[in-house]
Amino acid sequence: MPAPPPHPPPGSGRILALDVALRCTGYGVVDVDGRGGFRAVDCGVIRTSAKERLSECLRRLAGGIRELIDTYQPETAAIEGGFFFKNARTAMVLGAARGVAMACLAERDVPMYEYAPRRVKQAVCGFGGAGKEQVALIVATRLGLTVTQIQDDATDALALALCHAQAASGAALRLAKRL
């Protein structure tokens, strides 16, 4: 395994953001320099096959999140808040995946914060109803990446990291839900 990138300087921090799902969890690791600057360290997805049993998907998700935490040593984490589903089974499966993510962060003592999807879009785009394409373009621009370099679920995770970085830099953190 390659050596992790160096941590940002004092007065700044590293954020691990997770857009949790059972089959395709997006992640983003962002360094904040303490002066309003951001740097994408890594992003991607943790995938599991649709053929796998629920228990195997959860095991693989936990392993992937633990590996991210151990590799990047984040100071904080941001996860997307739960959705309201008409289908109870879908809600239960997403709840199980979120529980795995939260347990992995808690066992490594990483403080975590939850943000509603509209809050993330508001923070990143200035409009809570922004579309995926608009979010992707702004996230890529702010992090010096091209849209094609970022997978969809990773874009959402990077947006979460930017939202948390903005909240952590001001009084808005009091409005975030610490888990």
Task: Answer whether 31's CB lies under 8 Å from 73's CB.
Answer: no
CA distance 68 to 38: 19
Question: Among the options 56, 70, 75, 80, which is catalytic?
Answer: 80
> Could you read off the pLDDT of 95-149 as tens digits, one per residue?
899 999 999 999 999 999 999 989 999 999 988 888 889 999 999 999 999 998 8
> Could you read off the pLDDT of 7-24 as tens digits, one per residue?
544 446 999 999 999 999
Percent of the chain with pLDDT over 90: 59
Answer yes or no: 31 catalytic. Answer: no
Answer yes or no: 152 catalytic. Answer: no
In 3D space, the residue among 4, 7, 33, 19 whose CA is nearest the CA of residue 136 turns out to be 19
| Per-residue confidence band for 89, with pLDDT thresholds at 50, 70 and 90 | confident
Beta bridge mates, 50: none
- Taking CA atoms, 163 is separated from 29, 32, 59, 95, 114, in Å, by 13, 12, 28, 22, 10
Question: Among the options 19, 31, 114, 156, which is catalytic?
Answer: 19
Does the pLDDT of residue 34 top 80, yes or no?
no
CA distance 11 to 34: 5
Domains annotated for the chain, with CATH where assigned, are: 13-167 (3.30.420.10)
- Taking CA atoms, 160 is separated from 19, 60, 68, 72, in Å, by 8, 22, 16, 17
Question: Among the options 31, 114, 153, 156, which is catalytic?
Answer: 153
